Amino acid sequence: MTMNNQTDAADVDEQPQEWPNPRGGFLFFLGFAAIGAGMAQLVPAVLTLSLKANLLDPKNATTILSVVVAVGAVFGLIAAPTFGRLSDRITWRTGRRRPLLILGAVLMAIGAPVSYAAPTTFLLTIAGTLTMLGVVAVTVACTAILADQYAPERRGPASALIGISLPVGAVIGLFLAQLVSSSLLAQFLIPAAIGVVSALLLAVRLPDRVIGRDEVPVFTVRDFFGTFWVNPVKNPSFGWAWWSRLLIFLASPPCRPTRRSTSSSVSASRPPRCREPCSFRPWC
């Protein structure tokens, strides 16, 4: 019993602090920004980047898509703790989290149109990386805002909204992209525009706290690399949450058929078309 109490206490911030616990629709803006970032991230990853890769080089589209997504993911992995550490140390009058939201909006606004217009794989990779960095900036800001604004006992709804932002953003974004399936430009711009607008709305609505230079925490190289490791024994709640999310994400790819296999199976199941169009066969 004593051991359980000690390990549970390790997950709780015992430092006294007062939280604003904002009302007046702030939770809507926070959730909207998180969902908008998820939309701006997953719609390109699932749909528009693959369409663009097919336009660049149909024979090597899979390789192009893999390179673009992998490079963006690596930069995103490095940027997430970097943005978080830097955000904790911003002493501007704008606050600590607002600059991240604005930066994310700018990067997404640049990445989407450049992705559409990119004539080469190299430029498409740069554009995809800019979009990913913008998404990471907004996501890091939303996560930090959750801890900044809400007391621990009131973080449930906000944490749930941020947690479901990726799947909800993907579903809504893909639905909107389907509505404008005739225009690849619109498929790129609409999800990004929603991500940009939602991030800026949160930046305007955010009651961000300004810190002085004497409040800036010390930052070392060891602290940076320590961001990638949290002891699951000392922090069991974090460990269970991390492993459960990892297993869910590892289980999801085999359940999703690829675009190529899906299209080929559908094509194989359809009867051949007639030489002349006819009205009594729906596949003609």
24: which 2 tokens? Answer: 């007046």
C-alpha to C-alpha distance for 211 and 197, rounded to whole angstroms: 27
List of residues 6+ apart from 89 with CB closer than 8 A: 96, 216, 217, 219
Locate tokens 């699951």: which residue?
232
Give residue 277's Cα distance to chain centre: 45
DSSP 60-95: GHHHHHHHHHHHHHHHHHHHHHHHHHHHTT--STT-
Instruction: Measure the CA–CA gap between 53 and 171, rounded to whole angstroms.
Output: 22
The structure tokens listed for 99 are 């600059």
For the record, the structure tokens of 280 come out as 């009594």
Closest alpha carbon to 36 in 137, 148, 165, 150? 165
Q: Which structure tokens are listed for 218?
A: 């010390």
Q: What single-letter DSSP state applies at residue 185?
A: H
pLDDT for 230 equals 81
Say what the pLDDT of residue 257 is. 44
pLDDT in tens, the chain (284 residues): 444 444 444 444 444 467 888 887 899 999 999 999 999 999 999 999 999 999 999 999 999 999 999 999 999 999 998 898 888 888 888 899 999 999 999 999 999 999 999 999 999 999 999 999 999 999 999 999 998 999 988 889 999 989 899 889 999 999 999 999 999 999 999 999 999 999 999 999 999 888 888 888 777 778 777 777 788 888 888 888 888 878 877 776 555 444 444 344 334 434 444 454 444 333 34
Q: What is the pLDDT of residue 5?
A: 45
Non-local (6+) Cβ contacts of 250 within 8 A are none
pTM, full prediction: 0.78
Residues 202 and 98: their CA atoms lie apart, in Å, by 8
Contact 101, 202 (CB under 8 A): yes
Tell me which residue has tokens 């700018």: 106
Segment holding 7, helix H or strand E: helix 2-9
